[in-house]
Amino acid sequence: MRVVIAEDQALLREGVTALLREYDIEVVAHAEDAAGLLRIIGGHKPDLAIVDVRLPPTFTDEGVRAAIEAREKHPGLGILILSQYVEPAYTAELLATGEGGIGYLLKERVGEVRTFLDAVHRVAAGGTALDREVVAELVGSRGPSGEAAALESLTPREHEVLGLMAEGRTNAAIARALVVTLGAVEKHISNIFTKLDLPATDGDHRRVLAVLAYLRAGGDA
Amino acid sequence: MRAEELTAPISEGAAGTAGGPSARAFQGRGVDTTRLLSLQIAIGAIAGFATTVIWGMAGGGSYWPAWVWFGFGVPIALNVALRWAWAQPKGFKRRISVQAAISAVLWCSEVTAWVLAGRGGTFWPIYSGTGYLVLLALHAAIWGRIPPEREAVLSARIDQLTRTRRGALDVQAAELRRIERDLHDGAQARLVALSMQLGIAEDRLSDQPEIAAMFRRARGEASAAIAELRDLARGIAPPILADRGLEAAAEALGRRAAIPVEVDANVPWRTLPVIETAAYFVVAEGLTNVAKHAPEASARVTLDLDTERLLVVIADDGPGGADPEGGGLTGLRHRVEALDGHLTVTSPPGGRTTIRAELPCGS
């Protein structure tokens, strides 16, 4: 796996690089700002870009904007955003960019080495990894929209399952996390699809739609 | 009540002693000067026509009723002139206008009298006219010089205070953002690096679970410190506000609130950071209050920005009865008033509570 990192703070840039190298993930290039990130992505064609939300010169949300731009130029590129703050609005914007893996984690998650590496692999492979804080905030939010009303009809257990789906977990991982059987998880997911009125076409597609409904209810409410 | 009791006898007394109808007009308040003017014109017209008819029946000759017209015309002119003078801004301008009005009416009457008297001899109104002008000039010189200086000093002082207050608020907003950034780049970054080192150590010690558990606890402490710093930084200068503006920040507040919140925003452009920050804290404090005092209620946040002002309204359907002088609300009022805005709280018992802040943002 080939990874690039955009992070202006040397301490964290070097720390994450060392951490990834320790676990045999190749960090091919660094950037300290948004322009640098776009340049190294163009030059190195990595599988994954790990991007800090805040980059010079304005230290606001250049990281997110640059990531969205990079995604438009390089479809399929995995983007893992690291942020000091949970901001569901950014999640919705990133998920709207289409093809490829998306991750959005709080910075301190890099300390949870196994969780972090898991997220890195998942996003590079085209999956999703949302921080549990982002998910909790989306679950906790409520709004008057139709999707929100449909989400309210979910049982607490189904909510939990949908939350884990939004984090990007597979059915097997959800079963492990909730200490239930794989069959029970599939039953919950099927109930979620029915309650959210998602037609039985392609399973993966419905999964993304369910998660999007969930995020929109949080993102737009 | 008391104000009426005090002013009523004074205005009556003043009108009584001053006597003439014009003096009443001069008194202004309490006397219907328009009605008085109509009455004056009516009586003057009746008298003028009556004497003209008498003059006609008497066989004409020199048109003496002109003196009657003149006699009734002077008070009418005085009334009109004083009404104009009284409409001037209070202070020096009104005083000089009153003097000018009286002088002008008197001088015009003198000229008219001179004309009616047959335009004979020297044009004597020139002397009194010069006198009036000299008096006006004296008035302007004596009173006009001192107060404008004082007014100029005061208005310069007000300009300076407005500017420095705004400057202080801008500096404060910038300082808060700098502190927030310093926290982000300094302590938080170091804690993240620490947490990462602890995580790697924990992972390497997987064959020694007891020591690994100690590292995990240490990492938990570091994470808690990071979370606390994050909350602190967010309270100082919310990053979403700087990044995405007021609408996104209000929606984020709505999502985080413990009650259902609907945000209705019309904020077509970014306004000054200091205004955005004040509006943000009005919404934050308003929603916190609703959640605290009316946990069963839902709230609606309305933001409306035009070229003149930013309007922020937080309305809930709770039980009402909020104390408009409550600690949080007073703090908000000071924040809003420091920007020349207004904050009002209406909270009838049993009715909805509405916090309304208006922040001027015209350039």
Measured between CB atoms, does B224 come within 8 Å of chain A?
no
Q: How far apart are CA B294 and CA B352, in angstroms?
A: 10
Residue A98 is predicted with a pLDDT of: 65
A87 CA: distance to closest CA in chain B (Å): 8
Burial per residue of A173-184, b for 16 or more beta-carbon CB atoms within 10 angstroms, e otherwise? bbbeeeeeeeee
Measured between CB atoms, does B174 come within 8 Å of chain A?
no
Cβ atoms within 10 Å, residue B165: 13
Positive or negative torsion for Cα B32, B36, B38, B39: positive
Contacts of A16 in chain B (CB under 8 A): 196
Residue B323 is predicted with a pLDDT of: 78
Is there a contact between A206 and A165 (Cβ–Cβ < 8 Å)? no
CA-based nearest residue in chain B for residue A141: B255
Pairing of strands A102-106, A78-83: parallel
Contacts of A144 in chain B (CB under 8 A): 260, 262
Q: DSSP labels for B182-204?
A: HHIIIIIHHHHHHHHHHHHHHHH
Please, which residues 198-217 of chain B have a Cβ atom closer than 8 Å to chain A?
A: 198-200, 202-203
Residue A202 has pLDDT above 60, yes or no: no
Residue A47 is predicted with a pLDDT of: 93
Structure letter (DSSP) for residue A52:
E
Contacts of B202 in chain A (CB under 8 A): 113
Measured between CB atoms, does A152 come within 8 Å of chain B?
no
Contacts of A120 in chain B (CB under 8 A): none
Which of A42-56, A114-128, A183-197 comes out lowest in average pLDDT? A183-197
Residue A205 has pLDDT above 70, yes or no: no
Q: How far apart are CA A205 and CA A75, in angstroms?
A: 18
A41 CA: distance to closest CA in chain B (Å): 24
Asked if the bond preceding B9 is cis, omega within 30° of 0, the reply is: no
Residue A52 is predicted with a pLDDT of: 92
Is there a contact between B328 and B289 (Cβ–Cβ < 8 Å)? yes
Mutation target vs B (from A113, A135, A139; most B CBs, 10 A cutoff): A113
At the second CATH level, the architecture of A137-220 is: Orthogonal Bundle (1.10)
**What percent of chain A lies above the pLDDT cut of 70?**
85
Measured between CB atoms, does A9 come within 8 Å of chain B?
yes
Q: How far apart are CA B37 and CA A18, in angstroms?
A: 94
Nearest residue, CB atoms, B219 vs list A111, A142, A218: A111
The enclosing H or E element of B357 equals strand B353-360
Report which of A65, A56, A80 is spatially closest to residue A4, judged by C-alpha positions.
A80
CA dihedral B79, B83, B85, B88 (to 10 degrees): 180
| Yes or no, beta carbons of A143 and B260 under 8 Å apart | yes
CA dihedral B202, A166, B247, B280 (to 10 degrees): -40
Residue B63 is predicted with a pLDDT of: 84
Measured between CB atoms, does B173 come within 8 Å of chain A?
no
Mean pLDDT: which of A26-30, A186-190, B15-19, B172-176 is highest? A26-30
Residue B7 is predicted with a pLDDT of: 38
| Yes or no, beta carbons of A108 and B190 under 8 Å apart | no
Give the bridge partners for B174, in sequence order.
none
Contacts of A92 in chain B (CB under 8 A): none
A84 CA: distance to closest CA in chain B (Å): 7
The percent helix, strand, coil of chain A (3-state, each to 5) is 60, 15, 30
Report which of A92, A62, A55 is spatially closest to residue B248, judged by C-alpha positions.
A92
Q: Tokens standing for B119?
A: 């335009």
Confidence of residue A196 (pLDDT cuts 50, 70, 90): confident
Is there a contact between B299 and B314 (Cβ–Cβ < 8 Å)? yes
Which of A156-170, A199-213, B73-87 comes out lowest in average pLDDT? A199-213
Q: What homologous superfamily does CATH list for A2-130?
A: Response regulator (3.40.50.2300)
Residue ranges covered by each domain of chain B? 2-123, 160-236, 244-360
CA-based nearest residue in chain B for residue A61: B243
Please, which residues 251-270 of chain B have a Cβ atom closer than 8 Å to chain A?
A: 251-252, 254-256, 260, 262
Tell me where in chain A the CATH 3.40.50.2300 domain(s) lie. 2-130
Which of A94-98, A127-131, B63-67 comes out lowest in average pLDDT? A94-98
Tell me where in chain A the CATH 1.10.10.10 domain(s) lie. 137-220
CA-based nearest residue in chain B for residue A220: B251
Contacts of A143 in chain B (CB under 8 A): 260, 262
B227 CA: distance to closest CA in chain A (Å): 9
Structure letter (DSSP) for residue B88:
S
Burial per residue of B275-297, b for 16 or more beta-carbon CB atoms within 10 angstroms, e otherwise? bbbbbbbbbbbbbebbbebbeeb
pTM of the model: 0.60
Residue A139 is predicted with a pLDDT of: 59
Burial per residue of B58-94, b for 16 or more beta-carbon CB atoms within 10 angstroms, e otherwise? eeeeeeebbebbeebbbbbbbbbbbbebbebeeebee
Which residue reads 């190195």 in tokens? Answer: A44
The enclosing H or E element of B101 equals helix B92-116
Angle at B109 between CA B104 and CA B113, to 5 degrees: 150
Measured between CB atoms, does B279 come within 8 Å of chain A?
no
| Yes or no, beta carbons of B255 and A88 under 8 Å apart | yes
Measured between CB atoms, does A140 come within 8 Å of chain B?
yes
Contacts of B248 in chain A (CB under 8 A): 89
Q: Tokens standing for A36?
A: 């640098």
Helices assigned H by DSSP within A96-170: 113-124, 132-140, 146-152, 156-167
pLDDT tens track of chain B, all 363 residues? 444 434 333 333 333 334 444 444 444 455 677 888 888 899 999 998 998 898 888 887 888 888 888 888 998 999 899 988 888 887 778 888 898 999 999 999 999 888 888 887 788 888 989 999 999 898 888 876 666 677 788 888 988 988 888 888 888 888 888 888 888 888 888 999 999 999 999 999 989 999 999 999 999 999 999 988 888 888 888 888 888 889 989 988 888 888 889 999 999 999 988 899 999 999 999 999 888 888 888 999 999 999 999 999 999 998 888 777 776 788 889 889 988 899 999 888 888 899 999 999 875
How far, rounded to the nearest angstrom, does the alpha carbon of residue B176 sit from its chain's CA centroid?
A: 28
Query: What is the pLDDT averaged over residues A83-108?
Result: 80
Is there a contact between B318 and B285 (Cβ–Cβ < 8 Å)? no
Nearest residue, CB atoms, B199 vs list A59, A89, A111: A111
Query: What is the pLDDT averaged over residues A85-113?
Result: 81
Q: How far apart are CA B201 and CA B272, in angstroms?
A: 47
Q: How far apart are CA B7 and CA B210, in angstroms?
A: 88
In whole angstroms, how far apart are CA B109 and each of B41, B74, B112, B116, B275?
A: 17, 7, 5, 10, 59
At the second CATH level, the architecture of B244-360 is: 2-Layer Sandwich (3.30)
Mutation target vs A (from B190, B243, B253, B300; most A CBs, 10 A cutoff): B243
Q: How far apart are CA A144 and CA A213, in angstroms?
A: 13
